[in-house]
Structures are given as C-alpha cells and as structure tokens.
Amino acid sequence: MSEAVLEITSVKSEESEMAVYEHPLLVRICHWLNVGSLFVMIGSGLQIFRAFPSFGPKIPQVNLLHWPRPFALGGWLGGGLQWHLTFMWIYMATGLVYIGYQLVTGNYRQVLFVPRDIPGIWPMVRHYFFFGPKPPATEAYNPLQKQAYTTVLILGVLSVLTGFAIWKPAQFSWLAWLMGGFHYARIWHFAVMWAIIFFIFGHLVMVILHGWSNFVSMLTGWKTNPDYPVGWQMPAPPVATPAEATEDDSIKHPTNEPIKEPIDAESSSGKSASPLATHDEPSQNEQSQSEPRN
C-alpha cells in the first residue's frame, strides 16, 4: 500500500475511521525477531551466569544471587552457551538490519530522541506516573517514548560490545580494556542485561495500557484511530459526527475532551475558534488534534 494514511469506511454504517501506516515491514520483522532473540539471549545468559553467579573472586566464592534453573534456558552451562553463541548472530544481524534500514529510509526521525524532545519529558512522566494531564499528542512517538526507544537501542549496542569484550578479551583486548578488563566487562554485560529487562517490563506495561489497535500496529503496520494528527486531512463530513482532523475552523475543538457534537464559532465558551486555541499551551503544529473514537 503506497498511501500512509487511509480513511476506512464501514460498509454497514456511515462511520469511518482513520488508519495510519506506522511500522514498515522490516521494522516489524526486526521487532519480532528481537522478541525471540532477547528471550533466548537473556534466558541463556542467566543459565551461563548460574555457573558462576558472582562478580568477586573464585576463592573465596561469594554468590551475588541465586537464579533458579527453571527460569534459565539451556539446562546446563554447555546448553546455555550453545543457545547464547547461536542466537547472538541472529540478534546482531537483526540490530544491524534495523539500524541500517532506519538510517537509509530516514524513518529514524520519528523515534530518535533529540535535544528538542527534552522539554516534553517531564509532562509525559507526570502524566504516566503522577496523574498529570495528558499532554497533546502531536507526533507518532511522544518524547518519553523516544527516550525509551533510543535508550534501548543504545543498550542493545552495549550488550553486543560488552558481550564481545567477554567473548574475545584477547582478540578485542582494547575493547575489554575500555571496560576495565574482562572481569569488569562481565559486570557491565550483566548490568546492561538488567537495564534491557527493565525496559522490556516498562514496554509491556505501556503496550497493554495503550490498547489493541496500538499493539496490532506492530503486527500489520497499521494503527487505526491514531491519537495524533496524521498527514492527510479528510474533508468536513456532511453529517454531524465527532470531528476528526479537519480544515473547517468551526469544528476545531480547543481541549482534549472528547466532544459529543460539533462546536461552532458561536459556542458559549466565547473563545475564538482558532486552531491554536488550547487550554495550556500552543500546540506544536498548525493542525488540531484528532481524538480517538471510543
């Protein structure tokens, strides 16, 4: 499908909804390959860790924590190593394909965290964790999401670099040296794993909270009823329906409240129906926000 935005009309009713193509095929393939690879890498990594669950000396050995065998992959050290040393190639290849694709297509722009996003972090954190108001969604990824997805990419790269330092501390002695030598590289590798686990946990919570159509977009690429303005504006509907993004000033809504009927310029609020009229702050762009249909 060459169009990035569609209006889907229902055969049965007058209603229609928008859908935006969020995730290209290669991004989706890499995502699900990573789900499998990370499951194996973390499970087998913990199996390997079980063989010497300490970052201190061997004599005397003081274990850091006991990781139960049922939650490790491989059954024994040899098995864990087989999984780990096999899947690391799939994991690395997927990462390279993903990064390469994002760079070549420019698709990285929608997800890469840049300094411009910094002011938007706190409002998102306040909204997610401290019951703050929902900041207006102006783009596909909000600043906190960008920060998370950019960070996890960096963590992925670090997991590979620290992994190389402990897999090849002689051939890549310079790399191991940067990390303080083999003994410390092993600690960093373990720490990076926990940071990735932390990301996965947060990511799953967010995926569950953001509903089915959001989840489906990572399967089919299409998200129906996106909560941010999409490129193509549909013309004003001929009947009174809750407004989507439109160029007709009279039904722009200045707040984030879902509306039940068209707002017109003579509304009792007395506000001028400017596209930029919002409660808190000017919106980031000239388009009004489309609301998710319940």
Contact residues toward another protein (CB under 8 A) are: 1, 3, 5-11, 16, 19, 25, 28-29, 32-33, 36-37, 40, 48-49, 51-52, 54, 57-59, 61, 77-79, 81-83, 85-90, 168-171, 173, 176-177, 181-183, 186, 216, 219-222, 232
CB closer to another protein, 88 vs 137: 88
CB 98 within 8 A of CB 218: no
CB closer to another protein, 29 vs 125: 29
Reduced to 3 states, what is the DSSP secondary structure of residue 61? coil
What is the closest distance, in whole angstroms, from the C-beta atom of residue 152 to another protein in the complex? Answer: 19
How far is the C-alpha of 96 from the C-alpha of 102, rounded, in Å?
Answer: 10
Write the CA distances from 257 to 26, 132, 134, 135, integer angstroms. 36, 15, 11, 12
Residue 17 pairs with which residues in a beta bridge? 8
What is the closest distance, in whole angstroms, from the C-beta atom of residue 257 to another protein in the complex? Answer: 27
What is the closest distance, in whole angstroms, from the C-beta atom of residue 66 to another protein in the complex? Answer: 15
How far is the C-alpha of 168 from the C-alpha of 152, rounded, in Å?
Answer: 24
What is the closest distance, in whole angstroms, from the C-beta atom of residue 178 to another protein in the complex? Answer: 13
Which has the closest alpha carbon to 209: 110, 129, 106?
A: 129
CB closer to another protein, 81 vs 121: 81
How far is the C-alpha of 41 from the C-alpha of 282, rounded, in Å?
Answer: 45
CB closer to another protein, 1 vs 270: 1
How far is the C-alpha of 254 from the C-alpha of 281, rounded, in Å?
Answer: 11
CB closer to another protein, 59 vs 65: 59
What is the closest distance, in whole angstroms, from the C-beta atom of residue 166 to another protein in the complex? Answer: 9
